[in-house]
Every structure is written in C-alpha cells, then in structure tokens.
C-alpha cells in the first residue's frame, strides 16, 4: 500500500514537473517570439525611416540642383546682357551702355562687372564723379576686379588726374599684366615730356602686344616726346 502511494506521488510530481517545465518553455518561447517580433518591427520601422530620409535627401538634392540650374541660367543671361553693354561702350554708345548695365544691376545688384562698365561710360559721357562712384561700387563688391581698377585709372586720366591715374594703373597691374595699363602710364609720362618713363612703360606694353607700337606712332599723347631718339627707336624698330 505504501509502495503504491509512493508511486502515485512520484507520478504526480512528474506530471507537475512536466507542467512546470512546459509552462517555462512556453514562456521562454513566447518571450523570444515577442522579442523577435519587436526586433523585426523595429528593423522595419528603421528601414521605413531610412527610406524616408533618403527620399527627403533626394528631394532636397533635386531642389538644390534645380535652384543651381536656374541660377546658372540667370547668370548666363546677365553675362550676355553685360557683354552687350560692354560692346556698346567700345562702340562709343555711352548712353546705351549705361542703360544696359543699369538693367543688369536692377536684376542683380551684386553683379560687380556692370558697375565698372557703367562707371567708365558715365565718365566718358562727362560725369566723372558719378562714374568714379559706380566704379568704386564695383571694387567694393570685388576689390580684385582688374577691369574696375583699370577703368578707375582710365577715368582719372581722362580728367587729367594723372597721379591718381598712375596709382590705379599700377593697382590694375597687380591683378593682370595688361598692355593697356602699361600704355596708359606711358601716355601720361608722354604728356609730361618724361622720355625715360615713357619709353620704359611703352616698352613693357609692346613686349606683351607688339601691335601697341602702331597705336603709339599716331598717339597725340606722345607728341611731347616724339622727337626724342629713344622714343623713335622704340616705336620704329622692326617687329619680331
């Protein structure tokens, strides 16, 4: 009887133990399942987030690209209009050049090249003060713009401010070794009758562009040095 009771108890304990083990295993499985589901859900959410961020970046890049393309087109248009004004100035259409460059400035107040052309056109039209003011605006926007420095020198030379003109021709030469900057200095010294400096700077101009020699032969600015042997030797020497 005792043996039978022990057997029943053992079976009962075994059943209970099995139930407990099964419960623990099920709990572990359920926990792992929940964990795996959470991990999968988190990964899915992260993938969606990454995709959305990538899409957002792509949209931003497309907008920036479109904006840059529009800016490039605008700059091309302004550059073309500026060149029209530049050409008008060299055809001595000063009023047209002024109006054209003002249109450029109205569209883009930072387009420094337009101020330089407007300024020199104003100077040639008889308005020195306003011309210098516009050239200075160009230099305020871009202090290293060589053409604006050259135009400031040219405007000063035009109004007989020779010392100031030489200063600005030299400032222009800091940016570019331009033959007409050397020529401008030479012509000022020519008016002064300074043979040595006339020949010095005219020679530098001719070294860059031998064609300058032909211009100098008929330039009234050199009348005061035209009889000097040094000047005649320079402008009448055979071009290489």
Domain ranges of the chain: 77-236
Cβ contact 186:166 at 8 Å: no
Alpha helices in 91-161 (DSSP H): 94-107, 112-124, 128-141, 146-158
Which tens digits make up the pLDDT trace of 112-122? 999 999 999 99
The architecture in CATH of the region 77-236 reads: Alpha Horseshoe (1.25)
Q: Could you give the dihedral angle defined by the CA atoms of residues 225, 226, 232 and 238, in that order, rounded to the nearest 10 degrees?
A: 120
Which tens digits make up the pLDDT trace of 119-160? 999 999 999 999 999 999 999 999 999 999 999 999 999 999
DSSP H or E run through 66: helix 2-90
pTM above 0.75, yes or no: no
What pLDDT is recorded for position 10?
63
What pLDDT is recorded for position 240?
44
| DSSP code of residue 221 | G
Which tens digits make up the pLDDT trace of 37-93? 778 777 777 888 887 777 777 777 777 776 788 778 888 999 999 999 999 999 999
pLDDT at 35 over 80: no
Q: Kindly state the percentage of the chain with pLDDT values over 70.
A: 91
Q: How far is CA 235 from CA 134, 182, 193, in A?
A: 36, 15, 16
Residue range 201-230: average pLDDT?
Answer: 96
What pLDDT is recorded for position 192?
96
């Amino acid at each position: 009887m005792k043996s039978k009771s022990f057997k029943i108890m053992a079976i009962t304990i075994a059943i209970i133990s099995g139930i407990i083990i099964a419960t623990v295993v099920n709990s572990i499985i359920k926990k792992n399942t929940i964990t795996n589901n959470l991990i999968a859900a988190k990964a899915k959410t992260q993938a969606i987030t990454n995709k959305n961020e990538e899409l957002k970046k792509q949209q931003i890049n497309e907008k920036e690209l479109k904006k840059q393309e529009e800016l490039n087109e605008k700059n091309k248009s302004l550059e073309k209009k500026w060149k029209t004004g530049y050409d008008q100035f060299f055809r001595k259409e000063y009023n047209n050049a002024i109006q054209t460059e003002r249109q450029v400035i109205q569209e883009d107040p930072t387009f420094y090249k337009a101020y330089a052309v407007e300024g020199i056109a104003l100077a040639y039209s008889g308005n020195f003060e306003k011309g210098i003011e516009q050239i200075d605006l160009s230099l305020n926007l871009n202090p290293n713009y060589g053409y604006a420095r050259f135009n400031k020198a040219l405007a000063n030379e035009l109004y007989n401010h020779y010392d100031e003109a030489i200063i600005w021709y030299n400032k222009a030469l800091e940016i570019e070794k331009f033959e007409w900057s050397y020529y401008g200095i030479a012509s000022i010294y020519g008016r002064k009758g300074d043979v040595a400096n006339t020949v010095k700077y005219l020679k530098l101009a001719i070294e860059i562009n031998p064609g300058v020699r032909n211009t100098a032969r008929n330039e009234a600015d050199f009348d005061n040095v035209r009889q000097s042997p040094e000047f005649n030797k320079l402008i009448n020497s055979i071009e290489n």
